[in-house]
Structure formats: structure tokens, C-alpha cells
Chain A
């Protein structure tokens, strides 16, 4: 099982600032198999990014994903009030097996 760690655990920023969220895998993950989700309180997760860098339908272009191997990054270029939420990375490997990171909480400073 590939373990994902996310950092920081909590990120405190102000609207308009840039957010950089990290996801690190315990072993190499194909870029095709790395996704990011956003979850707001009381809501289901929403797909943001798949294939490490491809925005899902309807996702604003202030969200971008990058990375390869064991290190992946979700960047939000200019934070909007609605972006404050918890963000999870997720990977797929054979079996099939899907694992999620513990999440980064993005809170308003």
C-alpha cells in the first residue's frame, strides 16, 4: 500500500494570497494516477485535479497541479473566500487500491 502524506496539516492564509499544498508518496506514483479533491464541511469531496495536473470540468484556472514521482503540489494562485476547505490527494495502484492523504485544512487567516 502506498502511503500519502500531506503538508502542512493546516495552512492559514488570506483571500488573494497564493496557496501551495504538498502531497508526498511513500513510493513513486504514476502522474496519471494522482488526483486532488476539495471538501467543505458537511459536503462530499469534489474532484479538482486528475492526472496530477488536469483540471476537472468546471474547476477554475486558479487551481493547478504539478509534480511527479513522489512529490506532488496543488497550487491555488489567488485565494477566493470559497476556497477555504480541506484538500485531499489520492493515488491509485494495482489491485486496485486507492489511498488518500490525511488532508490539508486551508483556513482563513
Chain B
């Protein structure tokens, strides 16, 4: 049974950094691409970043490019999102989601429960 558990969310001041994590279990983590998707009441669901199964390729939404970094540790079955230079508009629930492919596919077949990030002074 696929299980994705996010952690690391919290309240952070604008301009500061935060790292969120996603622990995966119930499937061969190293064989799948992974994503971060965020959700806010105002903007809805927004794809943030993707990483291939082996970590060799990353992609980012324009809204976070240059500030966020997605990476993974396949030995620990864990996905990460390093968020720097945070802005108020980055406040959201951050979900990790599994790609249906090893690379960047067309949809997300399993999602975690999310972790809330609030950027506020």
C-alpha cells in the first residue's frame, strides 16, 4: 500500500528558508518520479516541482524557479523540498505526489496528506 507522509511545515518569516520532507513506503520509491504540489484556498492546486526517479532531472514552476530545490534520497525513501527566500504567497499546504512514471509523466497517482507552510511576519 502506497504511503506518503509529509513533514516539516510550519510558520516562517518572509525571506527565510524551510525544508519539507516526504517519507515514502509501500512501493519501490527509487523507481518513480515524484512531485510537489501545493494548494491554497485562493489559487487552488498548483504544481511546484518534479524530479526523476534517479534525481538526474528536475523541473520547476516559474513561480518558484531559482528559490526552491527538489531533491531525493533513495536510500532513505525520502523526497525533499528546500524552500529559500520564502514569500507570503508561498503559504500553502504542500503535498508530495507520486508520478505514474519513472520520469515526468502525465498525472499523479498517489498523494500524501500534506504539510502546511505559513509565511508570515
The interface of chain A, by Cβ under 8 A from chain B, is 32-33, 35, 43-47, 50-51, 56, 88, 90, 92, 95-103
Whether the pair A50, B107 counts as a contact (CB closer than 8 A) is: yes
When chains A and B are docked, how far (Å) is the Cα of A96 from the Cα of B34?
13
- Residues on B with beta carbons closer than 8 Å to the beta carbon of A90: 45, 107-108
Whether the pair B111, A98 counts as a contact (CB closer than 8 A) is: no
Whether the pair B113, A35 counts as a contact (CB closer than 8 A) is: no
Whether the pair B50, A96 counts as a contact (CB closer than 8 A) is: yes
**Count of chain B residues with Cβ under 8 Å from any Cβ of A?**
22
Whether the pair A44, B114 counts as a contact (CB closer than 8 A) is: yes
The interface of chain B, by Cβ under 8 A from chain A, is 35, 37, 44-47, 50, 59, 61, 95, 100, 104-114
Whether the pair A88, B45 counts as a contact (CB closer than 8 A) is: yes
When chains A and B are docked, how far (Å) is the Cα of A100 from the Cα of B108?
12
Whether the pair A47, B109 counts as a contact (CB closer than 8 A) is: yes
Whether the pair B111, A97 counts as a contact (CB closer than 8 A) is: no
Whether the pair A44, B59 counts as a contact (CB closer than 8 A) is: no
Task: Give 16 CB contacts A-B under 8 Å.
Answer: A33-B106, A35-B107, A43-B113, A45-B95, A45-B111, A47-B109, A50-B100, A50-B106, A56-B109, A90-B45, A96-B50, A97-B47, A97-B61, A98-B47, A99-B47, A100-B47
